[in-house]
Amino acid sequence: MLVLQIILLNLLLAFAGSGKKETKITITPDQGRLITNQIQQAIDSCAAAGGGTVYFPKGKFLTGGLKLTSNLTMLLAEGTLIQGSDNYKDYGDGKRPEALFSGDNLTNVTFEGKGTIDGVDCTSPTGEEGFRGPHCIRIFNGKNLVFKDITIVRSANYAIFCNYSDGVRLKDVKIRGGHDGFHIRFGRNVLAEDCDFRTGDDAFAGNDNVNYVVKRCSVNTSCHGFRLGGQNVLIEDCRIWGPGEYKHIKQNRNNTLSAFVYFSPQDANPKLQSGDWLVKNVTVEGVDNVYIYDFAGGLWQTGQLMQGIRFEGLKVRNVKKGFTVIGDENRHFQLAIANSTFINDEYNNPAPFKMERTLIDTKHFFDLTNFDKLTLKNVEFKQFPARPLLDIANGNIVQISKVKAPAQTSESLFEFQNVATVKK
């Protein structure tokens, strides 16, 4: 895995030294009316002083859209509630609303404290899908962005949205409801630790990211746990489970579509082929699919190739489908699974279903076609019905070592078609 050993060190260095902030302005709570102008004046005063802290003591603060500045800390005391307006016109000029907090080309911005930001599920007829309102926090072209301890609820669109940003750290962030939890495209040096996301849409999403680390996070969603593309990705010691506690608002459902699905949308003009992924010590339970990569025709998956991903210590229980992979015809994709367990004590030959544009054929638990190399080492399948579990087609190399399955399936565990080399 390319430079994964030093990613965390590089990230910590990137997040260090956010500048000295001495100015502190305290906002008075519980005024029972929108105080957008008062909060904005406090932010602007910090900017005029070269940076500072806007402090929100315990209480309720009602506001419309706010513009952030560099060298700024938004400090929310425990018991603080910053509640957005339920009128989308309070977030801009009445056109497509932007965000409760927004800014571009910013450096050293921090949201911290044990307070809550509430997007109130504000709707807008001019928003995405004809109803979505403003994001809670939207920062583009940012550097050294920190989100620590805060809770975000009912975000009217994405909770945290940070395209083209370098050095983004999330620590102990909680997200409840809304749409996407954390969305970043074309980012660098991203670290999320000890977060708890329970979202209506994708929990983690984005493409063309480099050095992207998620550790010790809890993920519950009514869409995808990770809809992601990028280079040097580490996802470690996380739990992903379904069904979602908060429904997908547009589709009015709670099932979790997948733990992982590839993301490289053509309309975003992606530049980066994805690869060097390690998913380590992750548990997955109660979702529809573990992993989906459909370069042939998957929704938002066809922009650039996914070159390879490695799973170690994966623990999967009660999912309809394990892996569906349809790689490119030139066979670039590599998949390795080691020291992993798949347990099925709920689904017995589930019916085929469609996930966005990809047909999920449940005849096999595992489908892989158009690939360079598949490696399975110390992998166990428990409590599966009598059927071949793995359908492997159109590949160059398969290496199998210590793969176990129930007795009734062990003799016909694999079906191979057009695979050049199989090593057992």
Overall pTM surpassing 0.75 (yes/no): yes
In angstroms, the CA 349 to CA 385 distance is 7
Peptide bond into 406 cis (omega under 30): no
Paired with 423 in beta bridges are 399
In angstroms, the CA 104 to CA 48 distance is 17
Cβ proximity of 228 and 275 under 8 Å: no
Supply the pLDDT for residue 65.
96
Q: In the structure, what pLDDT confidence band is assigned to residue 15 with cuts at 50, 70 and 90?
A: low
Supply the pLDDT for residue 11.
55
Q: Report the sign of the C-alpha dihedral through residues 406, 410, 416, 422, in that order.
A: positive
Determine whether 9 is exposed, middle or buried from the number of CB atoms within 10 Å of its CB (0-12, 13-18, 19+): exposed
Q: In the structure, what pLDDT confidence band is assigned to residue 17 with cuts at 50, 70 and 90?
A: very low
Query: What are 362-373's pLDDT values in tens digits?
Result: 999 999 999 999
Residue 10 has pLDDT above 60, yes or no: no
Query: What are 134-152's pLDDT values in tens digits?
Result: 999 999 999 999 999 999 9
Q: In the structure, what pLDDT confidence band is assigned to residue 2 with cuts at 50, 70 and 90?
A: very low
Q: What percent of the chain has pLDDT over 70?
A: 93
If you ran DSSP here, which 8-state letter would residue 1 be given? -
Paired with 421 in beta bridges are 397
Q: Residue 137: in which H helix or E strand, if any?
A: strand 135-140
Supply the pLDDT for residue 214.
98
| Closest alpha carbon to 366 in 422, 281, 293, 421 | 293
In angstroms, the CA 204 to CA 192 distance is 10
What's the average model confidence in pLDDT over 87-111?
Answer: 90
Query: What are 25-57's pLDDT values in tens digits?
Result: 999 998 889 999 999 999 999 999 999 999 999
